Amino acid sequence: MARYTGLIERYRERLPVAADARIITLGEGNTPLIRLENIPGSTGKDVELYVKYEGLNPTGSFKDRGMTMAITQAVNEGSQAVLCASTGNTSASAAAYAARAGITSCVIIPEGKIAMGKLAQAMMHGAVVIQIEGNFDDGMGLVKEIAAEAPVTLVNSVNPYRLQGQKTAAFEIVDELGRPPDFHCLPVGNAGNISAYWTGYSEYAGLTTRACSFCDDQCPYRSDPVADRLPRMLGYQASGAAPFLRGEMVEGPETVASAIRIGRPQSWDLAWAASRESEGWFAEFSDEDILAAQAMLADKEGIFCEPASAISVAGAMRDIKAARIPAGSTVVCTLTGHGLKDPDIAIRQSRAPVTKVSADLDTVKKAILDNM
């Protein structure tokens, strides 16, 4: 089998990449689709529940899928510098891919509000890091203004190459399951990813027409890709940062899941279209519920994701229990980022005892037995 060299090579015929472009890749994509074994039992319903573990991308989040495309295109256009606003993962990814390409990156982040691992990444990859006394939405407004007049390429998801790269996650899932899932659950912040998955499923379904269980050869919708059993897209938000639940932009968003602390999503219309066309829905969760889901994945399945990612599993479980997702369904949740991104929150919320004792045999033996 050929060596895996990233998602552009793998899905090249479905991506807008110039034939002679220098591909800027770190081997992103091709992430595991893991079937959960222990958690589904606690829902009391018989479902096939999978997680797409995007934390295993090169910089630890799904952003690398879009960034390989955006930076490849920027380099192909002769750009010397890229710019983004970020809650942390976009900046980590932009910094890494810019370093790989040998160009400059500048990242605008909300002061004190990005996880430590993400800040460390931007710094190590040599980004110009600007912390603003404001939130992500303020940063987004600023970078759009700067990019309109300065010779820099904006690599937030308003850059269409980003969503093109991110749609490949849906391709991988269909390739692996042999069909689209019935439901796809995602955290929603800036709303680019839910839009990208919907694009990916829609494009792929058009290519892989298959019988649906409700119709026969005479059915007038049979060749309609949207009717051809595409997944319903379920978007989950933190209650303090839930513009899709409020039906309007939110000022001053707040949540422990700093990745999705976003009140003015840039892909507002696209995400509504994904939800409406797929007959999906949005729902919201408290910070407490988000952290409980993160802990449960780590404790019951051995999978460590960041808080924002865990909201997809919190959502799937609640909707399975409530039978909004019916028994017999195949469900995929995207775990967007790795748990190691945000060690502070993990340690602060963990209830696992860490016992300190002197380094002698009897004391250590007793401490082990006492804590088993």
| Residue 19 DSSP SS3 | coil
Are the CB atoms for 293 and 311 separated by under 8 Å?
yes
Nearer to ligand AN7, 121 or 190 (CB): 190
- Asked if residue 89 binds ligand AN7 (CB under 6 A), the reply is yes
For tokens 């892989």, what's the residue?
208
Q: Closest distance between ligand AN7 and the C-beta of residue 60, in Å?
A: 9
> Considering beta carbons, is residue 74 or 163 the nearer one to ligand AN7?
163
Token couple for 52: 């797409």
Binding string, residues 34-73; x marks residues near ligand AN7 by CB under 6 A: ---------------------------x------------
Other beta carbons within 10 Å of 100: 17
Tell whether residue 336 is a contact of ligand AN7 (CB under 6 A): yes
Spatial CB neighbours of 302, under 8 Å, sequence gap ≥ 6 = none
87 binds ligand AN7 (CB under 6 A): yes
73: exposed, middle or buried (C-beta count within 10 Å: 0-12, 13-18, 19+)?
buried
Q: How far is CA 278 from CA 127, 171, 271, 319, 352, in A?
A: 38, 17, 11, 16, 41
Please, which residue, 117 or 187, has the CB nearer to ligand AN7?
A: 187
Instruction: Give the Cα-Cα-Cα angle 315, 339, 159 (nearest 5 degrees).
Output: 75
Alpha-carbon gap, residue 226 to 214, rounded angstroms = 14
Number of residues this chain uses to bind ligand AN7 (CB under 6 A) = 20
Only one of the segments 88-96, 121-129, 242-250, 350-358 lies at the binding site for ligand AN7 (rule: CB under 6 A); that segment is 88-96
Residue nearer to ligand AN7 on the CB measure, 229 or 261: 261
| Closest CB 13 distance from ligand AN7, rounded Å | 25
Q: Does the footprint of ligand AN7 cover residue 274 (CB under 6 A)? A: no
Judged by the rule CB under 6 A, the positions of this chain that interact with ligand AN7 are: 61, 86-90, 187-193, 259-260, 306, 308-309, 336-337
